[in-house]
Structure 1
């Protein structure tokens, strides 16, 4: 109850820490508690709501999909609602909410690839289209999510590769240097160019002729050079973990005081 009451906290860091805790707790809840938390908070989105509450809820859902909760929450009872909620977040006008939609899709795609399930097309298409977003932060994040999936999944789903590769090729042509660099690094990771040409050739076979030619051109002109450079530091997608330790400790201390009042 304390965590849910703070999902709309006006301080960004406090709200993110609170929502991250609520999302991570999902796999510990009883079926009744989980149902109430999902239906009343994680999967409850109303556009007229204050944007901070929508952001808190989107953060909590994103972390729940990241942690050990996907087998518990992405079930026949909730999966359609989760897909719809993520889609709404992807299309949100507030960039922090839309970014949580991108992260949430990334973690959901990871889970579905692990269990060998087809990725939902109603989510995959809007996900790759976020490379056309007006925010460069969003464009960078989409590329980073693709890099993350390439890092954690040995066999990326064909439908993901077919949709993501042309999008990343377009990203390499962006004017913003950060978007361009992230797209190039992501393509190197997705195509596994540092390990040889085997994956590259199989990916080529998935693409239409025009997309294949564009990819081949980028590989020849840019990606070969990028692939021989040292790999950079792995970045964490979950921004609730990138919090000042003093703030986190203060938050936990307050929680202890609330739950175990001094007598």
Structure 2
């Protein structure tokens, strides 16, 4: 009945009147979503009805509105897509996608393009193969977006392309196009970096479909970029190579690890050392079982610990990230956590650099949040004292990251049960210090976890 009433209201309005109510409709959708226990609104998921009552507002705004209205309409449509089931969206796919592609082809301000690309990305993630008919147009549109003058547009185009590649049957032409784009944009490091970001997202989405010839060609280019003096190019290339290594044969992976990533020569150029440390960190994130397999686990850990002790802060931070992903892998597989790893992490908490302190706190927070059960008490006790100490650090960012790490580590969002278990194992001084900061930690636990990108090789 609500659907019928809303549909009647929409039909009673002219196109110009509908555009005037986009803000009201967006607000109403948010209010309805707050009262709904599920991510999807039941009325939007009605078979053969779906979003028909609200689609005209956004469609008209996208096609005929001012740039400001177009942006709001695109963002509103994205919010509606998130609240609608795949089945209910299916009849509307053409009506939604056509106007978005059409407007994206015109010359509008960057914020309009970003809003439309975000919505297309949400739609692709939601309905996937239902957009196969639009695949050529979408690919062309996203590739063009990678060369836009505005970086936010380029990154949204890269993200959308990474989702689109999943529904591609033959991906090699796309990877060839991206590879050529990377090689032919030497004069514009901003565009080149975005191309690398797009390549990494495409690798993540469709790495299993890449042909051997393309993989070898990409490997050659990415390895040459690891020595780049341009920081963003070096970092992005390391991220791409780390993601690509997941899809190499065992023989090729062994060669890359032994000849480049596990070398750690004392006199190595620090920038090359940095990119190799980043690559290894990404590999430990994306495919830890392959990196640590074949008896390499001890060597990999040794290299990451050495990286974390490097006198160059970027190399040190990359080592910290790698140690965090190594710890996560140990916990996920039920393996024993080496004492050398915990000792190295404690050293990083006491590092003179705030960047290192923040990185190790973020990694502990990430590991604690991504494991279903509390971490083993031996791990918790090993790092609890230094974490508590860092909540009193002079640097506010170090304080904040340490507090969030403690909230995750002690599982304070789930109550005090694990906290009480931990307190029983502590000596009087550490227990007293933890008690002193509990009031603050409970206030922090009442908030939502901040969105921290723990992978520095993805620049969003």
- In which range does the TM-score fall when normalised by the shorter chain? 0.7 to 0.9
Once residues 226 and 31 of structure 1 are traced to their aligned partners in structure 2, the CA distance between those partners, rounded to angstroms, is 45
How far the C-alpha of 1:50 sits from its partner, in A, is 0.7
Once residues 367 and 226 of structure 2 are traced to their aligned partners in structure 1, the CA distance between those partners, rounded to angstroms, is 28
Once residues 328 and 265 of structure 2 are traced to their aligned partners in structure 1, the CA distance between those partners, rounded to angstroms, is 27
Q: 1:163 aligns with which of 353, 367, 382?
A: 382
Partner of 1:248: none
2:457 match: secondary structure: helix
Runs of 4+ aligned residues of structure 1 deviating over 6 Å after TM superposition are none
Q: 1:107 aligns with which of 318, 325, 330?
A: 325
Q: 5 Å matches for 1:123-142?
A: 123-142=341-360
Partner of 1:219: 438
Partner of 1:253: none
Q: 2:370 aligns with which of 144, 148, 152?
A: 152
Once residues 211 and 75 of structure 1 are traced to their aligned partners in structure 2, the CA distance between those partners, rounded to angstroms, is 38
Partner of 1:233: 450
How far the C-alpha of 1:223 sits from its partner, in A, is 1.5
Once residues 99 and 118 of structure 1 are traced to their aligned partners in structure 2, the CA distance between those partners, rounded to angstroms, is 24
Are residue 184 (structure 1) and residue 403 (structure 2) matched?
yes
Partner of 1:250: none
User: Per-residue displacement from partner, 1:130-185 (whole Å, max 9, x unpaired)?
Assistant: 11111111111111111111211122132221112111101111111111121112
How far the C-alpha of 1:210 sits from its partner, in A, is 2.4
Once residues 80 and 149 of structure 1 are traced to their aligned partners in structure 2, the CA distance between those partners, rounded to angstroms, is 20
Once residues 119 and 60 of structure 1 are traced to their aligned partners in structure 2, the CA distance between those partners, rounded to angstroms, is 22
Partner of 1:22: 241
Partner of 1:251: none
Partner of 2:416: 197
Partner of 1:259: none
Instruction: Return the structure number with greater relative CO, CA threshold 8 A, min gap 6.
Output: 1
Q: What is the TM-score of this pair, normalised by structure 1?
A: 0.87
Once residues 86 and 160 of structure 1 are traced to their aligned partners in structure 2, the CA distance between those partners, rounded to angstroms, is 18
- 8 Å CA contact 1:129, 1:167 repeated in 2: no
- 8 Å CA contact 1:61, 1:104 repeated in 2: yes
* Corresponding residue pairs, total: 240
User: Per-residue displacement from partner, 1:183-225 (whole Å, max 9, x unpaired)?
Assistant: 11221121121221011112223333322222122214x2222
Aligned in 2, Cα 1:192/1:34: closer, same or farther, shift over 3 Å?
Answer: same
Partner of 1:40: 259
1:210 match: secondary structure: helix
Q: What is the TM-score of this pair, normalised by structure 2?
A: 0.51
Partner of 1:258: none
1:205 match: secondary structure: helix
Whose radius of gyration is greater, 1 or 2? 2
How far the C-alpha of 1:28 sits from its partner, in A, is 0.9
Q: Gapped runs of 5+ residues in structure 2?
A: 1-219
Once residues 455 and 441 of structure 2 are traced to their aligned partners in structure 1, the CA distance between those partners, rounded to angstroms, is 27
- 8 Å CA contact 1:4, 1:41 repeated in 2: no
- 8 Å CA contact 1:42, 1:57 repeated in 2: yes
